Structure 1
Amino acid sequence: MTGTADVVVIGGGQAGLAAGYHLRRKNLDFVVLDAQHTPGGAWQHAWDSLRLFSPAAFSSLPGHVMPAQPGEQYPDAGHVVEYLSDHERRYGLPVHRPVRVRAVHRDGERLRVMTDTGSWSARAVVSATGTWWRPLLPAVPGREAFTGHQIHTTGYRRPSAFAGQRVVVVGGGNSGAQIAADLAVHDGIDLTWVTRRPPRFLADDIDGRALFDAATARRHALDEGRTDTGGVASLGDIVAVPPVREARDAGLLKAQPMFDRLLADGIRWRDATSAPVDTVIWCTGFRPALSHLAPLGLRGTGGHIATDGTRVLDEPRLHLLGYGDWTGPASATLIGVGRPARESARQIAELLA
């Protein structure tokens, strides 16, 4: 397929849908290209017990409040997939799938988006591919020599796959705590949870609403030249959603220091203490999935693409949406992506005018 549109949005997850909603309100001609076969973005690949950090009403995309999930204060990933699917249908967003974007090139006054099904010519592009597709694995000594099983957060689904195993969960963030809690309450799994520093649980009454407010306050402080408030990091690293809280209060979430290296059949700490291990689950974060933008030559020092909000400084026809605080406060969250999406649509409308 070869097509033409004023705006091409790359990615049909939460950020892409938020962009589509605001582009529609600006009456712009646009398409959304999504590599997935079905709606729901990365949420459809999450582990079974994953929970949002906020109640449904505070986890909504623009224009459409997420309904509550019966019996759940914090909705699970399946509920989010249903919500995103409904959001896409509700606004009739022009999503093409499965379409995998390979590269974006400059083409005179336009940008050419190359895909596995053809190319699209656009006057502006919104990249909203997120980070799920680029998991980060740390360079821990011995990782290549370990003969057991290794997976990242992206490969974890449910505890039953690890029955009878000795499992190490690496990571002191929300993913590490939630997966460790998921494994800890199941008999027959010998769990070790390791973190680089002692886990920092947020107060039990703090959820995603407070995190969004903290991220926004930090962004405003930095923009105005005031002292860095520390944002979300100043509050802690782990939101105590009910499963995490229950495992913690039962004494099942006791973190060990990060090990020094992997052995062929286990792990070893700096003091030479060792332990046998069958599986390592790396809950060690992600990086932005931006390889499709490589032909534009935008990466600067440290591989970072410089932006003003979501707009790329060296290519103002391109906007980056949903990659974290550097492209809008809490923009990698459902509740946080709406504001930068609205600003992106406004700036694109002005550019095309």
Structure 2
Amino acid sequence: MVVGAGQAGLSAAYHLRRAGLVAVGERGWERAAATFVVLDDGVQAGGAWQHRWPGLTMADAHGVHELPGMPLVVGDPTEPAAFAVPYYFAQYEDAFELRVQRPVRVERVEPEPDGTRLLVRSRSVERPDETVVWRAGGLVNASGTWQKPFWPAYPGRGAFRGRQLHSHDFRLPEDLADGHVVVIGGGTSAVQLTLLLARVTSTTWVTRRPPAWRDDTFTPEVGREAVARVGERTRAGLPPQSIVSVTGLPLTPAYRTGIAAGVLRARPMFDRITPDGVEWDAPDSPGEGWVPGPAHVEARTLLWCTGFRASLDHLAPLGLRAPGGGIVMDGTQVVADPRVQLVGYGPSASTVGANRAGREAVRNLQRLWI
């Protein structure tokens, strides 16, 4: 079984089909020796890409890689990624007859009483009274992170009288054009949204660490090094870091322009939130890599670009969490239960890593079935 039909889930489904498994729903699947099914809670193909803000074009979207077996052809780089990538995913599902079942949400995974298989309880999103319990010999979990935006706790957050929004829910910059916006976060989404908002309103960008601008070429070696460093954490059972926290931010022409204009000049994380904005205790000595500013900044909106956490609540009955807060991994395989493969998690969270992870997960499960 595959849970999730984003990049990693579709890659795994492709390799399951190549391994000779038949998709549930395909003609004759009831008589097949081995079957697979892909469950996805989205109303259409596209994974998390279908929810990206409309202003994110294919030219701006970093790390969109083609799926195995089908090239990704981008005819218009100005096309919104929220349209182009779902269209490509839908074509892919049809071309390889993956028979993705949606919208279906997996609510719980637990071992059978005799321990031989996994019981997967799913529910129709549109008809919540309809539940199905599947028996699976192996699980490729590709549920991603989109359903779990991370909101960090900060002093005074509950007293803020303005608007608080996570990047998960951002749509158009004009929606926030009614006052100053404090953008919080050091990743790619924070940079992109700060630039976008600067066209319609004033902004302040704050980060927990100084922005790590990268002026050299992002080579395959750099990518492998980043993936390896994230993999070290998952092998130790620690929560994974994002890939961008390791690679840094590429100095694209647009980013250089934003830095020169003063828009992408970050301040350190504020010390508290007030009812009408944010405050710093030492605004004149921010530390290397940040810029100084006033002790108090009034704001209409706090935009939290603080990332996401892995959506793994449905796996809680399996007891996979390690004392360090993460899950001990050997590649894509969960050490505590080799029947469970996590793809799109940790080092395979990037799109190119997700492709490799889908192939590895299927190979791992094949070894169990032999």
Q: How does 1:234-253 map to 2 (within 5 A)?
A: 236-253=247-264
Find the residue that maps to 2:76 and give its secondary structure: coil
Unaligned runs of 5+ in 2: 22-34, 124-130, 235-240, 284-294
Q: Distance in 1 between matches of 2:143 and 2:66?
A: 19
Are 1:41 and 2:47 counterparts? Answer: yes
Counterparts in 2 of 1:241 and 1:104: CA distance versus 1, 3 Å: farther
Q: Distance in 2 between matches of 1:209 and 1:76?
A: 24
The aligned residue for residue 265 of structure 2 is 254
Deviation, structure 1 residue 197: 2.7
The aligned residue for residue 332 of structure 1 is 349
Q: Distance in 2 between matches of 1:261 and 1:282?
A: 14
The aligned residue for residue 196 of structure 2 is 182
The aligned residue for residue 105 of structure 1 is 110
Give a deviation string over 1:71-108, Cα, whole Å, max 9, x none.
45x98343222222221111111210010110001013
Q: Distance in 2 between matches of 1:141 and 1:211?
A: 37
The aligned residue for residue 321 of structure 1 is 343
Deviation, structure 1 residue 133: 1.2
Identity of aligned residues (%): 43
Give a deviation string over 1:158-204, Cα, whole Å, max 9, x none.
211011211100011111111111111x13x121111123212222x
The aligned residue for residue 207 of structure 2 is 195
Query: Mean alpha-carbon deviation: is it higher for 150-159 or for 81-90?
Result: 81-90
Q: Distance in 2 between matches of 1:310 and 1:337?
A: 10
Are 1:135 and 2:149 counterparts? Answer: yes
Are 1:53 and 2:33 counterparts? Answer: no
Q: Distance in 1 between matches of 2:119 and 2:95?
A: 29
The letter for the 1-side match of 2:344 is G
Counterparts in 2 of 1:89 and 1:48: CA distance versus 1, 3 Å: same
Contact 1:178/1:243 (8 A) holds in 2: no
Deviation, structure 1 residue 47: 1.5
Give a deviation string over 1:203-262, Cα, whole Å, max 9, x none.
2x6358565333356579999xxxxxx996797522344543432343322212211011
- What TM-score do you get using the length of structure 2 for normalisation? 0.82
Deviation, structure 1 residue 62: 1.4
Give a deviation string over 1:4-53, Cα, whole Å, max 9, x none.
xxxx1111111110110111111121000001110001111112233322
The aligned residue for residue 81 of structure 1 is 86
Find the residue that maps to 1:182 and give its secondary structure: helix
Find the residue that maps to 2:54 and give its secondary structure: coil
Q: Distance in 1 between matches of 2:14 and 2:340?
A: 18
Counterparts in 2 of 1:231 and 1:217: CA distance versus 1, 3 Å: farther
The letter for the 2-side match of 1:169 is V
- What TM-score do you get using the length of structure 1 for normalisation? 0.85
Are 1:114 and 2:116 counterparts? Answer: no
The aligned residue for residue 181 of structure 2 is 167
Counterparts in 2 of 1:293 and 1:155: CA distance versus 1, 3 Å: same
Give a deviation string over 1:281-340, Cα, whole Å, max 9, x none.
111111111000011111121321112111111111111111121xxxxx1122221112
Find the residue that maps to 1:115 and give its secondary structure: strand
Unaligned runs of 5+ in 1: 1-7, 224-229, 326-330
Counterparts in 2 of 1:244 and 1:81: CA distance versus 1, 3 Å: farther
The aligned residue for residue 94 of structure 1 is 99
Find the residue that maps to 2:10 and give its secondary structure: helix
The aligned residue for residue 18 of structure 1 is 11
2:138 aligned residue (124, 140, 145):
124
Aligned residues: 328
Find the residue that maps to 2:308 and give its secondary structure: coil
Alpha carbon RMSD of aligned pairs, Å? Answer: 2.6
The letter for the 1-side match of 2:18 is R
Contact 1:69/1:75 (8 A) holds in 2: no
Deviation, structure 1 residue 69: 3.6
